[in-house]
């Protein structure tokens, strides 16, 4: 069953109360959302369950919590990274529903950008399973 997404504002407030706060000069947030455009249309060679010409109506989403935790631990070891927090939804999600929220805090922009890209890529490629379902109304 889909879960409500945590508050980004609350997460940032908590991050700034963390002992690592004084070492962080930047925070980046990734908010992944279910889109109507099929994966096959936007990523070369990808297939998520809906053909290139179709439209996504919903997404079945789940994840391996242990793998996510390992990905978070690895991200915390990246150069200049001092804060990492991840939330993942699960279940049958509709277009527009939140899939994931990732917050990364670190010293300088290149480190934080690289860490966010690395962590989100690892989560998407190694930790989650998602199946797109065709839209029933053709939208």
Instruction: State the pLDDT at residue 136.
Output: 82
Tokens (6 digits) for 108: 């300088």
Residue 127 exposed, middle or buried by CB count within 10 Å (0-12, 13-18, 19+): buried
Q: Which domain holds residue 13?
A: 8-33+62-129
Q: How many domains does the chain have?
A: 1
**21 inside domain:** yes
Average pLDDT across the chain, whole number: 93
In whole angstroms, what is the distance from residue 83 CA to residue 55 CA? 37
CB 136 within 8 A of CB 57: yes
The verdict on residue 138 lying in a domain is no
Q: What is the CATH number of the domain that holds 81?
A: 3.90.1170.40
pLDDT beneath 70, residues of the chain? 1, 45-47, 137-139
| Beta strand pairing call for 56-63 and 26-33 | unpaired
């Amino acid at each position: 069953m889909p879960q409500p997404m945590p508050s980004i504002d609350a997460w940032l407030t908590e991050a700034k109360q963390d002992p690592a706060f004084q070492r962080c000069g930047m925070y980046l947030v990734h908010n992944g959302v279910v889109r109507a455009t099929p994966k096959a249309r936007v990523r070369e060679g990808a297939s998520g369950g809906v053909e290139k010409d179709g439209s996504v109506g919903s997404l079945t989403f789940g994840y391996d919590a242990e793998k996510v935790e390992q990905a978070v631990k690895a991200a915390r070891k990246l150069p200049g990274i001092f804060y990492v927090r991840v939330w993942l939804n699960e279940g049958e999600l509709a277009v527009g529903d939140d899939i994931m929220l990732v917050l990364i805090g670190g010293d300088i922009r290149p480190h934080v950008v690289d860490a966010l890209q690395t962590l989100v890529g690892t989560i998407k490629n190694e930790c989650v399973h998602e199946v797109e379902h065709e839209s029933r109304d053709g939208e």
